[in-house]
Structures are given as C-alpha cells and as structure tokens.
Amino acid sequence: MAISETARLDMLAGLRTHVGEAVANTLMEHLPPGGWYDVARTADIDHLRADIDRVRDDVSLLRSEVGTMRSEVGNLRADIIGLHNRLDGVEARLDDRIDKLDAKFSKQIADLTQKIETNTKWMIGISITYGIGILGALVTFMVASLN
C-alpha cells in the first residue's frame, strides 16, 4: 500500500518530536519517496537475470530447432523434386510402352480386318458358286421334267 505525502509529513513531525530534527531528517532521507514497493532488491534483479538467461536459452534452442526444421524441409523438397523427376521418367516410359502397344494393336486389328475381308470374299464366292450349282441343278431338273 502506498503512503501518501500527508502520512509521510505526519511521520516526520512525530519523529522530530521523539528523536530530534537531525535524526528524523536522516531517517526520512533513507526512506524511498514512493514506498518500498517501488524498490528493487538485488534478489529481484537476480531473478530477472535468471529469467532472461532462461529466455535466451529457450530462444537459442528454438533457433537451433528452426534451423533443423529448415534443413529437414530442404531435404524433403529435394526428395519431392527427385520423386517428381523419377515420375517424369516413368511417365515417359509408360507413354512409350502405350505407343508401342497401340501400334501393335493397330497392326493386329488391320491384319484381322484384312483376314475378315478375305474370308468374306471367299464366302461370297462360295455362296455364288453354290447358288449357280443349285440354279443349274434346278434348270436341269425343270428341263428334264418338261421333257
């Protein structure tokens, strides 16, 4: 609790009457003007120094950890770039294989189409030959029946 100036003056007046003016003035000069709560002790300063040292140590540790994290992020970035490059290579090889398979299937489809066309021509030729043979047999049978 802070002491008011009025209370300080009352105390000075009381001291002057009991111990004399010179001793009272000396005692009052040794008291802090705003009260003891404003006075820092050596122990308080030592505690503050210890707290500051702990904060400095924590900051140093954090800086070290941030440096480690930056290094790890850099390594991860390099790994990702490496994976990306490998994937590009795999993608190029897959594209090449797909192109080869596409060419192979296109050739096989073309060969099958040619064989189907050839078979269709043979089937049409055979069908026409059978048709002509049947027509010839019918004509012969009709001619023979008319005679």
pLDDT tens profile 38-67: 677 888 899 999 999 999 999 999 999 999
**Residues 78, 83, 87: CA angle, nearest 5 degrees:** 150
pLDDT tens profile 59-96: 999 999 999 999 999 999 999 999 999 998 899 899 99
Distances (CA, A) of 13 to 34, 45, 121: 18, 35, 139
Q: What is the pTM of this model?
A: 0.42
Which residues 6+ apart lie within 8 Å of 24 measured at CB?
12, 15, 16
